[in-house]
Amino acid sequence: MGLKILLPDADITYIENFYAKDDADKLYQQLTQTLAWRQDDIRMFGKTMKIPRLQAWYGDNNLRYRYSNMTLVAMPWTASLLSLKTKVSDYCQHDFNAVLANMYRNQHDSVGWHSDNEPELGEMPVIASLSFGAKRDFQLKHIKTQEKKNLILDSGSLLIMQGETQNYWQHCLPKRARTIMPRINLTFRKITR
């Protein structure tokens, strides 16, 4: 199971039907209704702005995660997040202890170019990313060569980025002009300090 995305300095696998479409639809509804979605502020260039998406941070007791000058304190696992984490951890043979949930409400919501390389994730983090709801483009860009790759993340899919990926590649989820329905993304992570 799973498709290796063949790129230099990366170890990326895409599993399109990690969840069957019916299950993915149910999970999308459940997560929409049960997670504590909020729109946080971000400080950039001395200005405070709303991030262009909703998010929620869950994990083992009070784990903290800092990025873009925000400190998120983990809320306790919900039952559905815990069962998703167990399935993803079993598949990846990796012990995740936190998840960042993102809700892209429409085509105007996005996440800019970045690597998941915060110090608390350690040197070669394993990032496991589940998608539910509308399909979105997910772009990758090599930091040195600027090589680009576009993936389409479908509902029920799992994307695993590991090895050197975060050290050489950035990724983003771009805004789009055409109408796009909401999408939920869960990125499971392991905070190591």
Q: Which positions touch Mn ion (CB under 5 A)?
A: 116
Q: Which is nearer to ligand AKG, 46 or 59 (CB)?
A: 59
E-assigned strands of the chain?
Answer: 3-5, 11-15, 41-44, 47-50, 54-59, 64-67, 70-73, 98-104, 111-114, 127-133, 136-142, 148-153, 158-162, 169-173, 183-189
CB 15 within 8 A of CB 156: no
Confirm if 151 and 138 have CB atoms less than 8 A apart.
yes
Task: Compare residues 30 and 97 and give the one whose CB is closer to Mn ion.
Answer: 97
Does residue 140 interact with ligand AKG by CB under 6 A?
no
Residue 127 near residue 191 (C-beta atoms within 8 A): no
Counting contacts by CB under 6 A, is residue 109 touching ligand AKG? no
What does 134 interact with, of Mn ion, ligand AKG, none (CB < 5 to 8 A by kind)?
Answer: none
| Residue 100 binds to ligand AKG (criterion: CB under 6 A) | yes
Touching ligand AKG, residues 166-185 (CB under 6 A):
171, 173, 185
Q: Does 116 bind ligand AKG (CB under 6 A)?
A: yes
How far is it, in rounded angstroms, from Cα 154 to Cα 183? 10
Out of 129, 155, 157, 165, which residue is the one contacting ligand AKG (CB under 6 A)?
A: 129
**Gap between the Cα atoms of 138 and 172, Å rounded:** 6
102 binds, among ligand AKG, Mn ion, none (CB under 5 to 8 A by kind): ligand AKG
Q: How far is the CB of 55 from ligand AKG (least distance, A)?
A: 8
| Residue 153 near ligand AKG by CB under 6 A | yes
Question: Residue 39 in contact with residue 85, Cβ under 8 Å?
Answer: no
Residues that bind ligand AKG (CB under 6 A): 100, 102, 111, 116, 129, 138, 153, 171, 173, 185, 187
